[in-house]
């Protein structure tokens, strides 16, 4: 019995209609839920049995006293005093920032963005002070494209302001949507000011880091906390990580863990609580912190001080109890008019990621989830940009709105410029893979264009459409400096793409707009960045290259060298069979 005659005991999903591409459709159809923009199921994955369902509440259920669920009423009575994007959305206003965001999210209208912000499912982190510099407003929310954050910052042992500014430019160059300045050394104020004034992307900080410079954590007072938060808000920081969710009563739950508390902010505050035998001061001061953040429209990134630091500690009681507190704080911040996203783990086995995302969606009523990784294994230090971007893809597919990158230096040292690039690229891959899988309209169009160029063996177009054209060109030219109808990987005679393009019944590679100008073109050459990338590599010998590529000469047995067209077809059939393609001779 052949495969074709076997009785299939499965049902394929409906063909086509994947909205991630407007041009092509897909086969099989999308597995994600229909888009449902404006609901908690906006761009969502189907629930595995046992997952918590979405909340039936939104930020509209947590209004400040005197506000109405009717935007028109708020517009009449509250518009004068509204300061945040959330408050303005509650007044029914489309702000210039919402309109600007809509141009970056072509699948959403400005009105939809306003409505998502009003529902609390989206934030626009845009401090009013930063807007006076170079900030280009963006949004974070599951209705939007998945965003990537890059962390940077000087440490007491490494880096300078110039180096940090260079890393900022580098992170922007490689697609970071926001940048967190996590500096703990050097002149923190000067570094932060320089970063804010030079960045086009929103800047986040963890204010507690600056609070303890030059003092012990035990000496932290309420006054120091509020003064530092106000200072950074005035400087123009767009979002603050505030670890207000780790409570004194959660600390005993950490004892069972393999690696305790791995969040810097979480561990510092735990030490303060144990020393003073008092509640977390960030929790106690939460309403005052909201008042400062509202004034400048600084968004909350509610910190996960008890995130797991290893697979063994994932989804434990400490983590989940803190998440419940973060949900309570989300509601309180909304009731103060503040924009909120919530931070999440960390290190999580692959099978637990969906549950983590969907539990947050339920408890925090759809507030954007901003996750670090998560790493899905612990035994690859030096490769944690990879271990974590696997988890990040799953996290975004199951509901996370922003992914905090992890670099190869994670757990090992302060990331340098190239580590920032590696981290950004790993996370752009994760975010983009999730957007395609979720069916965000248009997100697959560039993939399809690149596939057409690849099928047409149009190398320059292939590189122009790729995320890192310099590297792609360098790797190609390392072995073959001619753009022609094969590359050095398989060589001319074994190039299945070329063979497919030649077979008249196949559509492959025939898109007219994807064709190269000529069948063979000398490479325009490798860029400086590409040459640098090649320097890091061992290079093939000329002999190996010639063997692989046949220097453009076709072997005697190649179908092009068989004069009789019928016999040439037989050669093609044999070649296809050798590549695992089932095709009958009559089918050619």
Cβ closer to ligand SF4: 406 or 457?
457
Cβ closer to ligand SF4: 440 or 455?
455
Tokens (6 digits) for 300:
């909350």
The β-bridge relationship of strands 402-404 and 299-302 is unpaired
User: Strand, helix or coil at 312?
Assistant: helix
- Using the contact rule CB under 6 A, the part of the chain among 160-168, 248-256, 484-492, 501-509 near ligand SF4 is 484-492
Q: How many angstroms separate the CA atoms of 539 and 535, rounded?
A: 8
- Using the contact rule CB under 6 A, the part of the chain among 54-62, 174-182, 433-441, 483-491 near ligand SF4 is 483-491
- Using the contact rule CB under 6 A, the part of the chain among 53-61, 123-131, 210-218, 486-494 near ligand SF4 is 486-494
Cβ closer to ligand SF4: 341 or 549?
549
Burial class (CB in 10 A: 0-12, 13-18, 19+), 509: buried
The verdict on 314 binding ligand SF4 (CB under 6 A) reads no
Give least dist CB 422 to ligand SF4, A.
24
Q: What angle do CA 161, 167, 170 make, to 5 degrees?
A: 145
Give least dist CB 496 to ligand SF4, A.
5
Strand partners, 403: 148, 371
Give least dist CB 386 to ligand SF4, A.
23
The verdict on 194 binding ligand SF4 (CB under 6 A) reads no
Q: What angle do CA 163, 192, 267 make, to 5 degrees?
A: 100
State the DSSP string of 456-503. TT-HHHHHHHSS-HHHHHHHHHHH-SEEBSB-TTT-STT-HHHHHHHS
Size of the site for ligand SF4 (CB under 6 A): 8
- Using the contact rule CB under 6 A, the part of the chain among 46-54, 379-387, 491-499, 562-570 near ligand SF4 is 491-499
For ligand SF4, the binding residue among 67, 334, 427, 486 (CB under 6 A) is 486
**Residue 11 backbone dihedrals phi, psi, to 5 degrees:** -120, 130
The contact pattern for ligand SF4, residues 497-536, with x = CB under 6 A and - = no contact, is xx--------------------------------------
State the DSSP string of 152-215. E--BTTB--HHHHHHHHHHHHHTT-SEEEE---SS-HHHHHHHHHHH-SS-EEE-THHHHTTTS
CB 367 within 8 A of CB 342: yes
H helix runs in 511-553, sequence order? 528-535, 542-549
Strand partners, 340: 300
For ligand SF4, the binding residue among 495, 503, 573, 576 (CB under 6 A) is 495
For ligand SF4, the binding residue among 161, 490, 568, 571 (CB under 6 A) is 490
Give least dist CB 587 to ligand SF4, A.
21
Q: How many angstroms separate the CA atoms of 405 and 146, rounded?
A: 12
The contact pattern for ligand SF4, residues 215-254, with x = CB under 6 A and - = no contact, is ----------------------------------------
Tokens (6 digits) for 498:
């070329």
The verdict on 496 binding ligand SF4 (CB under 6 A) reads yes
For ligand SF4, the binding residue among 489, 520, 531, 557 (CB under 6 A) is 489
The verdict on 487 binding ligand SF4 (CB under 6 A) reads yes
Question: Interface residues with ligand SF4 (CB under 6 A)?
Answer: 486-487, 489-490, 495-498
């Amino acid at each position: 019995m052949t495969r074709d005659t076997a009785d299939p005991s499965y049902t394929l999903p409906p063909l086509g209609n994947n909205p991630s591409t407007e041009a092509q459709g897909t086969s099989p159809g999308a597995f994600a839920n229909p888009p449902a923009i404006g609901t908690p199921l906006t761009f969502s994955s189907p629930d595995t049995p046992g997952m918590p369902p979405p909340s039936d509440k939104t930020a509209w259920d947590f209004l400040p006293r005197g506000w109405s669920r009717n935007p028109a009423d708020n517009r009449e009575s509250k518009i004068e005093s509204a300061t945040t994007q959330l408050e303005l959305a509650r007044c029914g206003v489309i702000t210039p920032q919402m309109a600007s965001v809509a141009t970056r999210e072509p699948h959403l209208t400005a009105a939809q963005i306003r409505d998502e912000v009003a529902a609390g499912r989206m934030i626009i982190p845009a401090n009013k002070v930063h807007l006076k510099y170079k900030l280009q407003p963006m949004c974070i929310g599951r209705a939007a494209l998945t965003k990537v954050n890059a962390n940077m910052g000087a440490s007491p042992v490494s880096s300078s302001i110039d180096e940090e500014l260079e890393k900022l430019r580098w992170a922007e160059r490689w697609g970071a949507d926001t940048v967190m300045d996590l500096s703990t050394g050097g002149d923190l104020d000067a570094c932060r000011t320089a970063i804010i004034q030079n960045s086009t992307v929103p800047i986040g900080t963890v204010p507690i880091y600056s609070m303890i410079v030059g003092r012990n954590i035990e000496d932290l007072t309420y006054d120091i906390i509020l003064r530092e938060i106000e200072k950074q808000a005035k400087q123009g920081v767009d979002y603050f990580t505030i670890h207000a969710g780790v409570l004194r009563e959660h600390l005993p739950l950490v004892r069972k863990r393999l690696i305790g508390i791995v969040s810097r902010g979480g561990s510092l505050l735990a030490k303060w609580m144990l020393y003073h035998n008092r509640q977390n001061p960030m929790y106690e001061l939460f309403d005052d912190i909201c008042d400062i953040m509202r004034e400048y429209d600084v968004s909350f990134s509610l910190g996960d001080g008890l995130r797991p630091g290893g697979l063994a500690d994932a989804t434990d009681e400490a983590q989940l109890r803190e998440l419940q507190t973060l949900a309570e704080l989300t509601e309180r911040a909304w009731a103060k008019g503040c924009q909120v996203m919530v931070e999440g783990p960390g290190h999580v086995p692959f099978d637990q990621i969906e549950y983590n995302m969907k539990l947050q969606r339920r408890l925090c009523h759809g507030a954007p989830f901003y996750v670090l990784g998560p790493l899905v294994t612990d035994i690859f230090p030096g490769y944690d940009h990879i271990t974590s971007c696997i988890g990040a893809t799953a996290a975004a597919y199951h509901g996370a709105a922003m992914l905090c990158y992890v670099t190869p230096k994670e757990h090992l040292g302060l990331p340098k410029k190239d580590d920032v690039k590696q981290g950004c690229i790993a996370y752009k891959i994760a975010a983009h893979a999730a957007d395609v899988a979720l069916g965000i309209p248009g997100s697959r169009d560039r993939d399809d264009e690149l596939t057409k160029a690849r099928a047409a063996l149009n190398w320059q177009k292939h590189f122009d459409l790729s995320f890192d054209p310099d590297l792609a060109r360098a790797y190609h030219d390392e072995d073959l400096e001619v753009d022609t109808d094969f590359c050095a990987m398989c060589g001319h005679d074994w190039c299945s793409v070329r063979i497919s393009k030649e077979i008249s019944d196949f559509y492959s590679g025939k898109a007219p707009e994807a064709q190269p100008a000529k069948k063979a073109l000398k490479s325009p050459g490798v860029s400086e960045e590409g040459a640098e990338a090649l320097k890091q590599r061992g290079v093939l010998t000329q002999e190996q290259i010639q063997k692989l590529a046949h220097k453009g000469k076709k072997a005697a047995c190649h179908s092009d060298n068989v004069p009789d067209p019928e016999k040439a077809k037989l050669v093609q059939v044999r070649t296809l069979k050798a590549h695992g393609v089932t095709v009958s001779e009559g089918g050619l």
